[in-house]
Every structure is written in structure tokens, then in C-alpha cells.
């Protein structure tokens, strides 16, 4: 057993990064370390449910807990009309407003984070976010960056820009996207650099809000879908975790009123995307006419789904890894956990992205031959049916997914990450 050290995890206030960090934290504790969580109060109870200490960091103006828990849900729901736009046309609305809000989280966290770190005295800090928290860099202990979004969050001139959802071959599109992003984001970036100066930090280049850890950077992406870079990431500071899929509660597939002998689908747009009720209702109506069964994750909106087809069951939540392991195909939004879980279990996916790195993951699934990208709204029943038929019937796709799954399963992402973090601690 390793010498017991305190490892503080600070994931973004979203369930994808949160649960990924929980899996790594559990593996760290199995090595004898103590894992604790720094968290936005809006995520209260998420980590304590797994037995971890929670230390709250206000990342916005303090507000009632219920209101804080709904902040990002309401933010995303307010942008549903923008989901119909191409990624480059979301820069002026969703992307701009999101980065402005994220910069404010860094400013607010700086007010309390130094004292909180002094109180819990971590020996190592693991941060899964898209922005720098100066207090973490300045604490005087090693810190590790976890990149649970798309791999192209770490830029390279030969791969599509982050958030663009563009093909690797669309070089003119890459330049156009980068230019528009930098133009729109500049006032927000200038404000962030001014904040960094007050913390004694050097300014970042335009468009950059975080830096690589000098110790280690852990990427969720698996090798079979990673980009071919002009400048490969140095192996001594970057490690691909091959999905890092967590174990979840077992799930027993229920009986349907119809089609119990047909292929099973799982449909989920994540904790934030469930607000797009109109789209989910349209998918339910369409799949109701097709030879499948389907489990739909509809979040908090269960009451709005009435008169369901006999081959559809809805719920406010599913233990997703346990469900994906048992289905024949998945329709999801391109969140990195959903993306890597489908690969890990060898399940074909139709990715219908709406914002952020979902666009990148949708294109990556298609270009790497592991699934299909489908426009979120511009589709009809025939097109959806055709792609679902390929998901369950294409032998080449099935073989590719089988090989990717076997490769990922041969590597335990959580244990891999825990041993790497243990090594960082031993080298301090």
C-alpha cells in the first residue's frame, strides 16, 4: 500500500466530469490514498453519495442551493433555439455566453479557494475544467489536468479547432472557425487576462483559457479514435486513459408492451440536453413506428411524455454504463462519457450534437468509422431508420467496434489513472 496522501479532485459542475473523477478517486482510495472533492455547491451530494468529503467553492454569486443546482440547466435550456445552428454560428451566442460565464467562475473561485486548500491540505490536485483556477497552480503542490472533453481541447494545427465539429480535411473551415472564434471571444479573453494579472499570472494567448499541467495531463479519449497530430503530445506529460469507464449500478432490462424480440436502443442527450423535449418527443414518435425497443432518458420532464408507443419506455435517469452494455445501439448528444462508453462496450452510435464538444465527437465517431453523425433537427424517419439499420446490421462496423472495445477493456482507465497519480506523488 502506498503512503496515504490527500488527493483533491475539482471537476467541472456537470455529471460527466464529476462521475469520471469519482471513478478515478475510487481507484486512488484502493491504493491507500484519501480522495476529497472540491465542488460547486450546485453539485452538493453528488460526491458524498459515494462516500467522499465535499468542500464547497462558490463559483458564482451565492444563491439558494436549488437555484444554484439549476444554473447550467436553465442556461442550456435558454439556448435551445441556437441548437439548430451550425457550430460556427453558435460562437456569437451559446459559445460566447458560456465562456463569459466560465470566466466568472474562475474569478469567484479565487475568492475562497486559497483558504479552502489551506484547510484540506491536499498533496495533489486534479482539475477537470476548461479554465485555469490560479489558486490551484499557485498552491505549491503538484496538479494534474484531466481532459474529459474532446481531445482537440488541446490544439494542434493539423486537427479541427475545438468546438467546430469540422472534418479533419476541411482546412479552410478550420481557419474560418478559428478567426471567428478569436474575434468574438477577444473581449472576454482580455477580461480573463486582466484577472490573471491581478493573480500574478502571465497572460494567455488569444483563445486559450487553460494551460497544460507540467506534471501530467490525462485525456479520456481512446487510441482508436484519437487525432493524428502534427505535434504528438509528449508521453511523459500526456496519457490517454482509453475511456476510463466507471462501474455503475446493475440494470435489468424491463419488458416492453411490444417488440421484445427486436433490437434495443438507448436514447439520451445527457443531464443538460433533456430540456429539448420537442426533439425527444419527435424521436419517440418516429421510433414508435420502427422495429426496435427503446429506453429514453428524459430527465426531469417525465410528466410531459404521455401516450407512449408500446416499444418505448422513458425514465428520469438510468445507470448509463450498465444500460449501454446491454443495448444494440445508442442515440446520444456527443458528450464525452457517452462517446467513450459506446466505444468501450462496442456499441454503434448515432450522435446528434447540440453544443460544445458534442459537435467534435459526432464528427470523430463518423470519421473514425465507429458511428454516425446526424443533424439534430434536419432528418426524417427514412434517414433515421437507415442509420439505425446500419447500426445493427453493418458487419464491418460491428467488427471495428468489437476490436476497439477489446482494446479499451484491456486497459482499466481508473486504475491506470490512479497509478499515474500515485507515481506523481512519489516523485514529488
For residue 78, what pLDDT is reported? 86
* 368, 272: one domain: yes
pLDDT exceeds cutoff 70 at 101: yes
Are 373 and 420 contained in the same domain? no
Q: Compute CA 114 distance to the chain's CA centroid, rounded to the nearest angstrom.
A: 27
What distances in angstroms separate CA 290 from CA 176, 273, 310, 393, one per listed residue? 40, 24, 11, 15
- This prediction has a pTM of 0.93
The string of pLDDT tens digits covering residues 13-61 is 888 889 889 989 999 999 999 999 999 998 999 999 999 999 999 998 8
Q: How confident is the model at residue 255 (pLDDT cuts 50, 70, 90)?
A: very high
- Contact in structure between 325 and 339 (CB atoms under 8 Å): no
Note whether 220 and 332 are same-domain residues: no
As a whole number of angstroms, the distance between CA 285 and CA 144 comes to 45
For the residues of 322-341, what is the DSSP string, one character each?
Answer: HHHTT-SEEEE---HHHHHH
Q: What's the confidence (pLDDT) of residue 65?
A: 67
**Could you tell me if 216 and 353 lie in one domain?**
no
Are 110 and 201 within one domain? yes
Contact 39, 47 (CB under 8 A): yes
Q: Is there a single domain that holds both residue 187 and residue 294?
A: no
Half-sphere exposure of 90 (CA within 13 A, CB side): 25
Residues 6+ away with beta carbon under 8 Å from 167: 160, 173, 363, 367
Beta strands 329-332 and 312-315, pairing class = unpaired
Tell me which residue range forms the domain holding 111.
6-242+411-426
pLDDT at 192: 98
- Averaged over 392-416, what is the pLDDT? 95
The whole-number pLDDT of residue 3 equals 81
Confidence grade of residue 331 (pLDDT, cut at 50, 70, 90):
very high
Model confidence at 88, in pLDDT bands (50, 70, 90)?
A: very high
Looking at the DSSP assignment, which residues form a beta bridge with residue 267?
Answer: 296, 331
Q: Is residue 139 part of a domain?
A: yes
Helices (H) and strands (E) in the chain, counts: 14, 13
What pLDDT, on a 0 to 100 scale, did the predictor assign at position 267?
A: 98
pLDDT at 427: 86
CA distances to 117, 288, 388 from 111, rounded to whole Å, are 12, 52, 50
What's phi and psi for 113, nearest 5 deg?
Answer: -60, -40
C-alpha 330/C-alpha 349 separation (Å) is 5
75-92: average pLDDT: 91
Q: Are residues 323 and 290 in the same domain?
A: yes
Q: What is the pLDDT of residue 69?
A: 65
pLDDT at 1 over 60: no
H or E element, residue 187: helix 171-198
Task: Looking at the structure, tell me whether residues 100 and 63 fall in a common domain.
Answer: yes
Query: Mind listing the pLDDT tens digit for each residue in 120-150?
Result: 999 999 999 999 999 999 999 999 999 988 9
**What is the pLDDT of the chain when averaged over all its residues?**
94
Whether residue 72 is predicted with pLDDT greater than 90 in this model: the reply is no
What b/e string do you get for 278-316 counting C-beta neighbours within 10 Å, with b at 16 or more? Answer: ebbbebbebbbebebbbbbbbbeeeeebeebbebbbbee
pLDDT of residue 337 exceeding 70, the answer is yes
Q: Sign of dihedral through CA atoms 88, 221, 34, 319?
A: positive
Q: Which helix (H) or strand (E) holds 217?
A: strand 216-219
Statement: residue 244 has pLDDT above 90: no
Compute the average pLDDT of residues 355-377.
Answer: 95
Rounded Cα distance between 397 and 135, Å, is 46
Q: Are residues 418 and 293 in the same domain?
A: no
* CATH assignment of the domain containing 177: 3.40.50.2000
Residue 22 lies in a domain: yes
Same domain for 47 and 170?
A: yes
Query: Per residue in 155-187, pLDDT tens?
Result: 999 999 999 999 999 999 999 999 999 999 999
CA distance 123 to 119: 12
Over residues 66-94, mean pLDDT:
86
b/e per residue, 26-40, with b = 16+ CB within 10 A? bbbbebebbbbbbbb
For residue 252, being part of any structural domain is answered with: no
pLDDT at 248 over 90: no
Judge whether 120 and 55 are in contact, CB under 8 Å: yes
In terms of domains, do 153 and 44 share one? yes
Average pLDDT over residues 68-86: 82
Q: Are residues 326 and 371 in the same domain?
A: yes
What pLDDT sits at residue 2? Answer: 59
Number of domains in the chain: 2
Domain assignment present for 247: no
Amino acid at each position: 500500500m502506498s503512503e496515504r496522501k490527500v488527493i483533491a479532485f475539482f471537476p467541472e459542475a456537470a455529471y460527466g466530469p464529476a462521475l469520471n473523477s469519482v471513478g478515478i478517486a475510487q481507484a486512488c482510495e484502493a491504493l491507500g490514498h484519501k480522495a476529497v472533492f472540491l465542488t460547486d455547491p450546485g453539485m452538493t451530494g453528488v460526491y458524498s453519495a459515494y462516500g467522499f468529503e465535499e468542500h464547497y467553492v462558490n463559483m458564482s454569486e451565492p444563491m439558494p442551493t436549488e437555484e444554484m443546482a439549476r444554473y447550467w440547466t436553465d442556461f442550456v435550456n435558454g439556448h435551445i433555439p441556437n441548437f439548430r445552428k451550425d457550430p460556427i454560428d453558435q460562437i456569437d451566442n451559446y459559445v460566447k455566453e458560456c465562456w463569459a460565464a466560465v470566466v466568472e467562475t474562475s474569478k469567484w473561485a479565487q475568492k475562497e479557494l486559497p483558504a479552502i486548500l489551506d484547510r484540506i491540505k491536499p498533496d495533489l490536485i486534479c482539475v477537470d475544467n476548461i479554465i485555469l483556477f490560479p489558486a490551484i497552480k499557485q498552491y505549491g503542490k503538484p496538479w494534474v489536468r484531466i481532459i474529459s472533453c474532446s481531445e482537440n481541447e488541446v490544439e494542434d494545427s493539423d486537427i479541427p479547432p475545438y468546438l467546430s465539429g469540422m472534418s479533419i480535411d476541411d482546412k479552410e473551415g478550420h481557419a474560418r472557425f478559428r478567426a471567428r472564434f478569436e474575434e468574438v471571444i477577444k473581449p472576454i479573453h482580455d477580461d480573463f487576462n486582466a484577472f490573471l494579472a491581478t493573480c500574478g499570472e502571465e497572460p494567455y494567448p488569444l483563445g486559450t483559457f487553460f494551460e497544460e499541467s507540467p506534471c501530467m495531463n490525462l485525456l479520456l479519449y481512446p487510441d482508436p479514435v484519437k487525432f493524428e497530430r502534427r505535434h504528438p503530445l509528449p508521453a511523459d506529460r500526456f496519457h490517454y486513459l482509453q475511456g476510463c469507464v466507471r462501474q455503475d449500478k446493475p440494470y435489468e432490462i424491463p419488458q416492453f408492451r411490444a417488440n421484445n424480440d427486436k433490437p434495443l436502443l438507448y436514447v439520451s442527450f445527457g443531464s443538460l440536453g433533456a430540456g429539448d423535449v420537442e426533439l425527444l418527443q419527435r424521436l419517440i414518435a418516429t421510433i414508435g413506428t420502427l422495429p426496435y425497443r427503446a429506453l429514453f432518458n428524459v430527465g426531469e420532464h417525465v410528466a410531459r411524455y404521455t401516450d407512449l408507443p408500446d416499444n418505448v419506455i422513458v425514465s428520469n435517469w438510468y445507470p448509463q454504463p450498465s444500460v449501454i452494455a446491454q443495448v444494440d445501439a445508442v442515440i446520444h448528444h456527443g458528450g464525452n462519457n457517452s462517446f467513450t462508453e459506446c466505444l468501450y462496450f462496442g456499441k454503434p452510435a448515432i450522435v446528434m450534437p447540440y453544443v460544445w464538444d458534442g459537435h467534435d465527437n459526432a464528427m470523430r465517431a463518423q470519421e473514425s468509422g465507429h458511428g454516425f453523425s446526424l443533424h439534430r433537427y434536419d432528418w426524417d424517419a427514412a434517414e433515421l431508420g437507415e442509420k439505425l439499420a446500419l447500426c445493427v446490421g453493418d458487419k464491418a462496423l460491428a467488427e471495428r467496434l468489437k476490436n476497439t472495445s477489446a482494446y479499451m477493456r484491456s486497459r482499466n482507465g481508473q486504475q491506470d489513472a490512479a497509478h499515474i497519480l500515485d507515481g506523481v506523488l512519489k516523485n514529488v
